[in-house]
Structure formats: structure tokens, C-alpha cells
Structure 1
Amino acid sequence: MGQSGEGQSGSSTVTLLPVQALLDPAQAAAHLGLAPGLFRALDFFRCGPSKLKLRGKIFYRRAELDTLRQDWCAAVQVRAEDRLAVRSDTQRRDNTSSEEAALDPLMRLLALRAIRHRIVISIFWTMGIIGGAICLILY
């Protein structure tokens, strides 16, 4: 007695779940490898990814986070495939918390670079506006 293809009991189906496209700020920070405070600083200085506001909650698109990572790495001429390295189990045990293990030091430096750049540009614009106003007042 042979069984037909529809009644086989030994087969299983693997279904891939869709990748979450929208991330909340904590998930977005973890996706970039940044501490949540540094990610909030990026938002404060308006040099981070664009955000969506849905029903009063803030979300970030995964694609835009990936684009931001690529742009920052391209700005310092670092290819993503060259910098990824798998940590050994001993290095993972040496870390004090799993949250520190998820932080990316390069992304932290690049985020600080973006914040510093925004501050310098803002200072120059402010100096130009104040200098222009002083020139108009004096002449």
C-alpha cells in the first residue's frame, strides 16, 4: 500500500518570516550597533536617518538605516565586507554584558563624526549670520 504525495507524514515545510521593515528607536540603534543615547543624539542634531511618525510613535525604515551605514562607511572608504569579523566564544565571555558586545565601535566613531560635522557647520552658519547682521548694523 503506497501513500500518495498528499498524505506523506515525514515532510515538513520551512516558511521564511518577513524581515521587519520598521524599527523603533531602540531597535534602530541596535541595528546600527549604537548605544541608544548616541542614537538619540543623532536625532537631536538631525544628522541621523529620517524617521516616520505613526500614531504618535517614531519608527525608522530598515532600508534607510542600511543606506546610512553604507554612506558612512563609504565616506571613510571602508567596505562592509572587509570589516565584519566573527568573535570567538572567549571574546564573548570576556565582555561584561551582551549589550556591549552588540555595539559597533566603527559606527560609534562615524556617528560622533556626523555629530561633530553638524555642530561645526551650525557654528559657521551662526557666525556668518551674526557677522552679516553686524555689518548691516554698522554700515
Structure 2
Amino acid sequence: MPHQQTIEASTNGRGTTEITAEVARIVRASHIETGLVNVFVLHTSCSVILTENADPTVRRDLETLALRWAPDGDSAYRHDSEGDDDMAAHGRNILAGSSITVPVSNGDLKLGTWQGIYLWEHRTFSHRRRIVVTVIG
């Protein structure tokens, strides 16, 4: 039987918030031994990513890359109703993605040694974000 739960995460503006432990807790509570977990964010100005969890400079460098991919306040943007970071945040969401899928093995996340699951906030101000975690197997 699939298991689904919605979690909330608070952000401090642009940057990453690790949610690996919360997703792992939901996987264990599902009692599914082998399968997949999908982590999907219910917003269009943040992303869910799987990335390095050992060296925080990796995540800081992702911000540097994102500034190049989708700069704030570009004069070519038409959508700016919520500020200079509005369209840039939507573009970053498209590039980084709204969901990830991770294998479940022996009732737990099957992650690599240095992998972690993160909510990546693309807006400059803090937000409360909702994330749907679905475990199937």
C-alpha cells in the first residue's frame, strides 16, 4: 500500500535546507521495504534537489551558478509582480526541478555516501514550503 505525507519546511531565503532526515523518517514509517520515494515541492519558486551533503561550499557554489542561469531583475523579464527575484525564481525552479525520486532498500533511503535531499529556496525572502513525500513499493 503506498504511503504519502506532506511536510513543511521553513527557509531563510535563498539557499538550501536539508530534508533528508525527515524524508527518511517517512520512508521508515511507511514499512515499505523495497520501492521508490518521490519528493515533490508544491511551489514554483523553489526546488527539491539531491546533492552533496558533506561540503557546504558545493551548495553555496550552486547559488553562484543559479545567479548566472537566472539573474534577478533582468530587464528582459516581463513577470516581476513580486519583485526582482520573481521570474528568476521560476526559471531556477524549471532548471533545478520540482521533484526527485530515490530508491528505497531495506526500508530506508538508498542514498550514496555523500548525497542529501534538499529544499532549494530561490526567493530572497523566507518562506514556508510544503513538500509531498510519496513512498511506493
More strand by share: 2
Q: TM-score, normalised by structure 1?
A: 0.27
User: Larger RCO: Structure 1 or Structure 2 (Cα < 8 Å, ≥ 6 residues apart)?
Assistant: 2
More helix per residue: 1 or 2?
A: 1
- Could you state the TM-score of these two structures normalised by the residue count of structure 2? 0.27
